[in-house]
Amino acid sequence: MLIRHGMNQLTLLNNVRNSGTLASSSSAVLRRQHLLIRCLSAHSYNSGGNNRWQETKPSMEADADNILRAITPVLDPTKHKGQAGKVAVIGGCREYTGAPYFAAISALKIVSLILLDIALTGADLSHVFCTKDAAPVIKSYSPELIVHPILEESYSVRDEDKGNVSRKVVAEVDKWMERFDCIVVGPGLGRDPFLLDCVSEIMKQARQSNVPIVVDGDGLFLVTNSLDLVSGYPLAVLTPNVNEYKRLVQKVLNREVNDQDAPQELLSLAKQFGGVTILRKGKSDLISDGQTVKSVTIYGSPRRCGGQGDILSGSVAVFLSWARRLNLGAEGNLGISTTNPTVLGCIAGSALLRKAASLAFENKKRSTLTTDIIEHLGKSLEDICPA
């Protein structure tokens, strides 16, 4: 990119600094120059050039493409619906219906890539457990999702009925639990106290059934206030953004975030959680299970549209499920330094999202939306794992 523009980044910066006298007459040009500098800096950062983490710990960078190839099942004409994995999303309320849809449909898009008969990939693969108000809206987004309108919020339940309603909600989810390869908790969940209490019980059920749990969005708010829901559970994955990570560090480590030694801090945080895997989202995604730290620095998109975290949580759920089915420890020729399925799932999900975001931005530029990224998940995985 630097060669194409005919100047290096330092030359460009000096030119901008020396253009102060022309700023009043060329403000638009100056703004574009500043934008170009930021883009070049971001590209360099994500390529490892100015990334302090990569300079000090080069082995942290995950071989994402190799991992994706290792854990993605091959196309198989004998497979039927459900064999590629079944994922449930616990989330969706009156205010938030897009997030659970993004997570569920992303999981469905990835799963459908390994089945030859696309018509078979809908019914038994991606479920959404949401409130009654959210269900009709989510159903209208896609007929391919199974939507369960069973969750309740405080406003719709009398105080004297809450105990009975909570038991019914939990029992209904429990009927399905053994069918799921992974559940995603949090997208569009909201923070209604009664709803969160019900979801806490659902998470306890999943843990008792040894079902992996990916926690995102308002699920992280719940976990931050009830650490025991995931502490010590090796099949739990947390996917915090900047603010959610800050709250976790303050609660668990009792200090402020230290970006100067981010890998070690993340390692300590995962250890304090008893081996829970944490994917810290950022310019570079950092992943740790308390034993190792891996990074994914593939360049994605400068367009930060809302909903990408939901794509990530759904993607991680699918790849985690696939990684659990493989005996990777016996595959010495794969060149994979860790065989923890939660870590592998995070690496694969992070890499695929970034690749899809990059392709979407190439096509749509500033108008890129989350739905555009979802549509590029298939092409991104096909480029790495061709049929």
186 annotated binding-site participant: no
245 annotated binding-site participant: yes
Rounded to the nearest integer, the mean pLDDT of the chain is 83
Taking only the tens place, the pLDDT of each residue in 60-87 is 899 999 999 999 987 666 655 555 579 9
pLDDT on residue 338:
73
281 annotated binding-site participant: yes
* Beta strands at 87-90 and 182-185: parallel, antiparallel or unpaired: parallel
Q: Where are the domains of the chain?
A: 2-47, 57-384
283 annotated binding-site participant: yes
242 annotated binding-site participant: yes
349 annotated binding-site participant: no
Query: Are the C-beta atoms of residues 355 and 298 closer than 8 Å to each other?
Result: yes
93 annotated binding-site participant: no
Tell me the backbone φ, ψ of residue 83, rounded to 5 degrees: -70, -20
275 annotated binding-site participant: no
Taking only the tens place, the pLDDT of each residue in 242-297 is 999 999 999 999 999 999 999 999 999 999 999 999 999 999 999 999 999 999 99
pLDDT on residue 386:
84
Domain 57-384 has CATH 3.40.1190.20: yes
- Enumerate the β-bridge partners of residue 185: 90, 215
pLDDT on residue 119:
31
308 annotated binding-site participant: yes
Question: Dihedral of CA 127/130/133/138: which sign?
Answer: negative
Q: How far is CA 234 from the centre of its chain?
A: 17
pLDDT on residue 326:
80
282 annotated binding-site participant: yes
247 annotated binding-site participant: yes
Taking only the tens place, the pLDDT of each residue in 182-220 is 999 999 999 999 999 999 999 999 999 999 999 999 999
304 annotated binding-site participant: yes
